[in-house]
Structure 1
Amino acid sequence: MAVSSPLPQGAPPVHVAIIMDGNGRWATARGLPRTAGHRKGVEAVRRALEAARELGIRYLTLYSFSSENWNRPRDEVSDLMQLLRFYLRGEIASLHKNGVRLRVIGDRSRLSKDIISLIDNAESLTASNETLTLVIALSYGGRQEIASTTRQIAEQVKAGHLEPSDIDEGRFANYLSTAGIPDPDLCIRTSGEKRISNFLLWQLAYAELVFVDTLWPDFTKRDLEDAIQEYHRRDRRFGASVGSR
């Protein structure tokens, strides 16, 4: 068994976002149906959450189901929804016991009523927890979120509650589904793909992006530690030149 190397000096990133990719390829490589990869991916979620807690990460956002994923075969979508039910019913007590707060972002209008109820109950139960906030991006799309936020602000202006001059980056961010959550410091994508696929388009403006070849079902604490090591090697200037620091 490989021994994890110690993390470099410095605080861990406050907020880590992960695009969990590769479940289908993991299954195909083993001659299994794609649904087997999704089930195995749930185990990787547990490992990532435990590792994040151990490393002192305060926010962990997981891209679990995009708005585009509704276009997948009906049987696959149905299986993913069943896995979501399983997770919400079977894991919430453990999350609560370990001080994890759950937040779910995305368009809930396409979810079944029982799933919405499970989400509401889980969010309510864990609302006061402070060890770590787990954000699940479900039926989520970054462009859709920005469009929805723009509509909300436009309605406020139309109603006379806001002036156009009141709208700045901070005001806009307050209408996003991630309001009150710091923007990610680090975004990891598994499976070797090098794109963000409509994920947190506003929030990732200054995040460090790390792409790893590991397929999501094989993702371990060591992979997370390696990504954080890469994060610590980066020079984060937030658009400022070296000379201005």
Structure 2
Amino acid sequence: MWTTRDATYWDIRPLSGVLAAAALPTMLGRWLEVEPVARGRHLFHHHVGRTAEAMQYGAARIVEIGDQIIAAALWLPCETPSSARAVNASGGGAFAAKLGELDAASGQAHECQPHLRLAGLGVLPRWQRHGIASALLTEHLEGFTARPRCLLAADDAVTAVAVRCGYRPYGDPAPLGRGSATVQPMLRTADSSAVRVPVNAFAGQGPVGCAGRDTAGAVSTACKPVRRAL
């Protein structure tokens, strides 16, 4: 049986490897970097940085069987729309530039009230369809119980899992680049009336959950983190 716990310093590299491996074949991963080897390298280093941020300011959660990490989720706290972290494109080339575009495209998901932003989520292929992603998206997080949570859904499978976990589309889908990729901001809150759902959010997609996969491969960028209140 798999178990869930907070990540430690010694988990940063294997955790980042799991997140990079999960994102590598996805539409969003391919949009961020076309060349597979470079994509894996960029994704790994990106998640190393985000894991360190989540451990310091938010929550870095791992799922393991024995001593093997099979899934992980990173959450970062955000306070205001202006707290979105700027990405320095000049220092990181095209990959960093696209991360900056992803930050800008997801700006509508930043609530005026404090909330948690999903900064990374991944489940190794062998362990998908076991409810692990759903558990990570809904589990109790110490110190952040009352906060709404938001994420970016980059494909129908992620959208379906998020909907089953109580997330709803928040605003309109955001196109990336020249329309080659689209992400859907989604929000989970105790007050369902607070979520602005587009009129045709699921038009033409069939029944919610029809993808039938409990998987997570979206690369989600984070806002500027804020420290937990002691």
More strand by share: 2
TM-score where L is the length of structure 2: 0.30
Structure (1 or 2) with the larger CA radius of gyration: 1
User: Of the two structures, which has the highest relative contact order with CA contacts closer than 8 Å and spacing of 6 or more?
Assistant: 1
TM-score where L is the length of structure 1: 0.29
More helix by share: 1
